[in-house]
Structure 1
Amino acid sequence: MAEITAASVKELRERTGAGMMDCKKALAETNGDMEAAIDWLRTKGLAAAAKKAGRTAAEGLVGVAVEGTRGAVVEVNSETDFVAKNEQFQDFVREVSKLALATDGDIDALKSAAYPGGGTVEQKLTDNIATIGENQSLRRTAVLEVAEGAVVSYVHNAAAPGMGKIGVLVALEGSAPADTLQQLGKQLAMHIAAANPLALDADELDAELLERERAIAAEKAKESGKPANIVEKMVDGAIAKFKKESALLSQLFVMDNKTPVSDVVAQCGKDCGQPVHLKAFKRFQLGEGIEKKQDDFAAEVAAASGVPQPVA
């Protein structure tokens, strides 16, 4: 059996919000497998769904830039929030966001792009690391474009214009007036920042993710003790609910919490007399999916939980 350390208990607790002893038990039940332990806690109703993806686990900034009907979003990481407030770091994020507009979302192309003043983006980043004295990385980028319409950007928790903790791009197609598209796009982007949809519609949801959700729902339903046919209906209902809540077009608009986003877009088209199509979106949250470095107070956690620490 794998050794359950205080550090792993602490990580699981941070990622799920479950109690310390529940986390310890989950790791014991799953032989120390972190992802399996998360699923185990969820089947017992002890963890929030998919909390990992929404957790900020690294410092730095997300930057956005829009030019015409094209928009780009980038994530640049740093070790501390202090560096994210540094003017030199912010200048870099601002310039890289603009350069990303020409790269089609290719991170390697962005790193090798010419940086204003000489050298490449990657070389400039290396120089910044040397002068600022802290490790930094250009992690990812994405680009959206429409033939006719608008790409609208939004930054949540802005540290400076065009950069913050969450960056969103919304691509709207159609010949509606520019101000109408901008207003709708901004509202949709704010919704996306808050609701964190996983796909545009249910058909685009990741098949592996759905299978994982189905397995969790099935385990929960079996514990109800109901007949197999009822359990199957419970699972189907749970998956239908998950799809509805995870796909942008079927989510309830945060502005009124009752109208599906698809209806909001359709109504905008009716009001202006021109069809409007929500083509795509991108949402970058700073640090999502990156594991945090463990802090040095694992001994304190161990003392509270009774979990032995490994001997160095």
Structure 2
Amino acid sequence: MAITAAMVSELREKTGAGMMDCKKALVAADGDMELAIENLRKSGAAKAEKKSGRATNQGKVLTSIKDGKASIVEVLCETDFAAKTDKFTNLVKTVAGNTLALDGEGDVTEAVNAAEKGNLTDHIGVIGENMQIRRATKWNASEASVFASYHHMDGRVSVLVEVEGETDPAILNDLCLHIAAFNPKYIAPSDIPADVIAKEKEIAKAADPKLANKPAEMLDKILSGKINKFYTEVCLMNQPWVKDDKTCLAKLKPNLKVKRFVRWEVGEEL
């Protein structure tokens, strides 16, 4: 059967594969469009298998928020060039959106990988690079909570946050910007494990030999001061605010409760 340019274009539109790959698939299928699609998918699986051992340290982190649900996913590829393409960006957006429909809450990486296996394989065949869904989280909102997100550097760093209480779009945007910029480890001092506090006190004492001979009462006051400074470094509510370093979120919005947040950066250590 003669393969026309219109047939090649139709197959490319349906699969996203390259023009030459589409033409070869149609020739091999003698013009049978469905068989050509099947063959391209099989070819994509074969390509994916060959590429599976190649390093992936570029990619995007994107979020999706809809109908009281929120997700954040990290998808990796091999090169920054591929990460910036519309095809890859649309893949990550699709994965984030599909994650909202999955059961469960919290870490859903395993379920997302299972659900997106065919989609990922198809895109590996089209884009020509190894890819992996590295991690995925899904949240379900409580009745009173609100989600917000922010993508920095086109998804190189992304933030997802859930809040309750006094809020508005401006403060939510600034909150996400703050988390992206300052990378807090905890929401408030009460969230810091006791062993972490104890370790910080131990480090403070060791860093200043003069403290060794201080009376116990004076030493406690000095260490309390150092721990309060530590809070301003690692706690979201206590860090100098992104828009005004003379205040902090706890003072700026005392009636805003941050329930949880994540800040993911492409390729960071987990």
TM-score range, shorter chain: 0.5 to 0.7
Instruction: Report the counterpart of residue 247 of structure 2 in structure 1.
Output: 259
**Post-superposition offset of 1:284:** 1.1
Aligned length: 209
**In structure 2, how many angstroms separate the alpha carbons of the residues matched to 1:206 and 1:89?**
39
1:186 aligns with 2:188: no
Instruction: Report the counterpart of residue 280 of structure 1 in structure 2.
Output: 260
**Post-superposition offset of 1:100:** 2.1
TM-score by length of 2: 0.68
Q: Deviations over 1:192-218 (max 9, x none)?
A: 111111011112224554454344323
Asked if 2 retains the 8 angstrom alpha-carbon contact of 1:265 and 1:278, the reply is: no
**In structure 1, how many angstroms separate the alpha carbons of the residues matched to 2:268 and 2:196?**
17
Instruction: Report the counterpart of residue 127 of structure 2 in structure 1.
Output: 132
Which of these residues, 149, 155, 161, is aligned with residue 151 of structure 2?
A: 155
Q: Deviations over 1:48-107 (max 9, x none)?
A: xxxxxxxxx932111011113332111112222112112221111001111222342311
Instruction: Report the counterpart of residue 113 of structure 2 in structure 1.
Output: 111
Asked if 2 retains the 8 angstrom alpha-carbon contact of 1:173 and 1:277, the reply is: yes
Moved more, 228-237 or 87-96: 228-237
Asked if 1 retains the 8 angstrom alpha-carbon contact of 2:231 and 2:239, the reply is: no
Identify if the C-alpha distance between structure 1 residues 202 and 86 changes in structure 2 by more than 3 Å, giving closer, same or farther. same
Letter of the 1:181 partner, please give it: D
Identify if the C-alpha distance between structure 1 residues 228 and 78 changes in structure 2 by more than 3 Å, giving closer, same or farther. farther
1:227 aligns with 2:213: yes
Moved more, 59-68 or 211-220: 211-220
Asked if 2 retains the 8 angstrom alpha-carbon contact of 1:202 and 1:243, the reply is: yes
**Post-superposition offset of 1:141:** 2.0
Instruction: Report the counterpart of residue 47 of structure 1 in structure 2.
Output: none
- The structure with the largest alpha-carbon Rg is 2
TM-score by length of 1: 0.60
Query: What is the CA RMSD across the aligned residues, in angstroms?
Result: 2.6
Asked if 2 retains the 8 angstrom alpha-carbon contact of 1:73 and 1:142, the reply is: yes
Identify if the C-alpha distance between structure 1 residues 234 and 135 changes in structure 2 by more than 3 Å, giving closer, same or farther. farther
1:173 aligns with 2:156: no
Asked if 1 retains the 8 angstrom alpha-carbon contact of 2:186 and 2:236, the reply is: yes
Letter of the 2:238 partner, please give it: S
Letter of the 1:71 partner, please give it: A
Asked if 1 retains the 8 angstrom alpha-carbon contact of 2:204 and 2:226, the reply is: yes
Instruction: Report the counterpart of residue 137 of structure 2 in structure 1.
Output: 142
Unpaired runs of 5+ in structure 1? 1-56, 114-120, 159-163, 270-275, 291-312
Asked if 2 retains the 8 angstrom alpha-carbon contact of 1:147 and 1:173, the reply is: no
Unpaired runs of 5+ in structure 2? 1-55
**In structure 2, how many angstroms separate the alpha carbons of the residues matched to 1:92 and 1:208?**
41
Q: Deviations over 1:120-174 (max 9, x none)?
A: x02322333344332222111223423124211111112xxxxx11111221224
**In structure 1, how many angstroms separate the alpha carbons of the residues matched to 2:247 and 2:208?**
30
**In structure 2, how many angstroms separate the alpha carbons of the residues matched to 1:253 and 1:136?**
37
Q: Deviations over 1:17-51 (max 9, x none)?
A: xxxxxxxxxxxxxxxxxxxxxxxxxxxxxxxxxxx
Asked if 2 retains the 8 angstrom alpha-carbon contact of 1:146 and 1:172, the reply is: no
**Paired residue secondary structure (2:244):** coil
Identify if the C-alpha distance between structure 1 residues 130 and 218 changes in structure 2 by more than 3 Å, giving closer, same or farther. farther
1:198 aligns with 2:182: no
Identify if the C-alpha distance between structure 1 residues 125 and 228 changes in structure 2 by more than 3 Å, giving closer, same or farther. farther
1:85 aligns with 2:84: yes
**Paired residue secondary structure (2:156):** strand
Instruction: Report the counterpart of residue 71 of structure 2 in structure 1.
Output: 72
Identify if the C-alpha distance between structure 1 residues 152 and 237 changes in structure 2 by more than 3 Å, giving closer, same or farther. same
